[in-house]
Structure 1
Amino acid sequence: MANKVPAILITSAAAAALVFTFWPSNESTATLQPTREATAEQAIPEYQNEAPTAAATEPKWSSDEERNAFFVADMQSRFAPHIHIQHAQIRFLEQLISYLKAHYPDDWRERVAAFLNASFPELAASLQNKFESLERYNEWLLVDRKQLQQMTPEERRQALWDKRYAAFGEDAEKIWAAELRNQKISETLARIDQDKDADLQTKLDALMDSVQESYGEHSDKFIETRQTELLSKFVELPSVQSTLRAMPAPERRRELRKVRAALGMNADALDRWENLDEKRDIAWEAGQTYMAERQKILSEYDGHQQEQALYALQNNVFGHDAELIRQEETAGFYRYKGERRIGRE
């Protein structure tokens, strides 16, 4: 190929995540991180993006041919059951590229075709085309990295998909199927956040319906593996936070329990979370009292008297944690200032 070798290879897995992880994480509270556990892709073995036989654990091969034969047999064993899946083909290419770059850094590209023929001869031509498409796509990501950073999330997502379709055609939707499913869930989170009239249960039902629609029979598995993230994304929606803050503490704890139960937490976990919520409620109530009293001291005293009064107040409210509070305030951090993040504080 005539393509210039990039200094760093961005694999297709990393590319699939770019729209969510390459960019600042605070772009949208409704964004789910991409996942590889998705319907047909769930059965594909998971790897690190490096040669399976890294130097630290690699056997002492008598020749390059012996090592290469082992690698080919290993790839066949791992990928043969899934090689018909577009996503699995890209994952296989990632592993092949990693292996070749590790062992043949000077001419790894020239060796790709031979390894494809040795590994999956019936798909070698198709896999070669995908390899070349993957190289073009990765190089584009590197060249246009700064330009992509300057785009809005929507513009960036569109640019990525335009380039994916240009490189892989309709196969792009299969290669990045997991991202498409997660994108639908993220869009649902954004939509329910804008619905100011819906109560928590209605919003939660909409989220669960979206998961079911996106993952079908694999919904339970998806929820199990992404439980914490789904919970955080839902509870941290501004509209959900606003609703929770307006509730009396006992009602809020009951509502949070319902949300966690819907996401599959068992009774023991629900009890632990509810106990933690109660402790946080008590801590924040004390913290708000402290902030009000602190403000009075600042307005009524100065100098040494102010310092003494604050010291006594901190000891009285926080006990053994008073010194930590003083250290935080010296550093300019006031943990009970501003709005509380329900479910996390």
Structure 2
Amino acid sequence: MAATIWAGNRFYLPDMHQPPQQITKQMNDPIPARATSIHKDVRSALTQKLISLFGQQIADITTQTKLYRFRQDLIQKYPVLGVEYFNGAARQAFPTEADGIIALMEKLDRYHEWLTEQQTFLSRLSSLERYGIIWKKRREIFADDAELLWAEERNDMERKQQQVQQVISQVDTDSRISLEEKLYQLNTQLDELLSESTVQYGNRKDLITQVYFSLDSVQQALGQLPPDQRQQQIDKLRRQSGYDESRISELRDLDQKRNLRWQRGLAYMKKREKLIDTLNGEALARALNDVRVEFFGYEARTIEQEELSGFFRYLRPRVYGRN
């Protein structure tokens, strides 16, 4: 199996530096098939092909990985003897590297068998979860070589991440454009960048919307609006992002719950600050416990544990449309 695809996600073999159709075409060149010496002739022809196709850089593990497609084509052509032909040709063509090449082919077999077996399970995971599990398996099978074999995938993702950050920064700092234009530019530019990166980024619409509402310039503009007008603007922006009215209504209800939570949380922080200014010791501890229960009810214990760890959720920035 040369590739596994889930809704656009492609966990491909790291052997595609040379187009597969080119290798397949070369594999389909005539190979002698005389009845009296077919094994010898096939192995000899394969040996010459391996040398001509891969000989100059065979010490490189990424070059060795390209042989997997060659081997799979050979197995398809000779189902019974394909592996034997390949191993024999590899030992003749590359006697020094043959053991490592054959071991690598077996590891790639294990990897792709695992992908096939786990396809249903993996398809149910989020993109990030799936990507993490697949990389864990790659390291389990290939150890440090995994980073070399999938370096192109890593480099491509790093390049896209840099481009994404550039787009976000440009849109955020451009004071000449409206909120709607900022969203349009993010949707247009990021959708193109992320169109082939759902392995890492998952649902692009949700991601882009989250990024948009995280922009400092967007939050500054929303923060200057009266609450009702702010909610109308948020609904409008979600509609522009492609959410249907049912989902917009659900998110609006969530926004209202968040607003109430923040109002309660900020009121609690003010009262907490006054208590700290006027009390200390056990009296302060009892008063803080009482006020946490007053404002948060059954969540009071969670709030207390957060504060003991140094985390104060209502000292975080308010991000309209997100928290």
- Normalised by the size of structure 2, how large is the TM-score? 0.50
Kindly name which structure, 1 or 2, has the bigger radius of gyration based on alpha carbons: 2
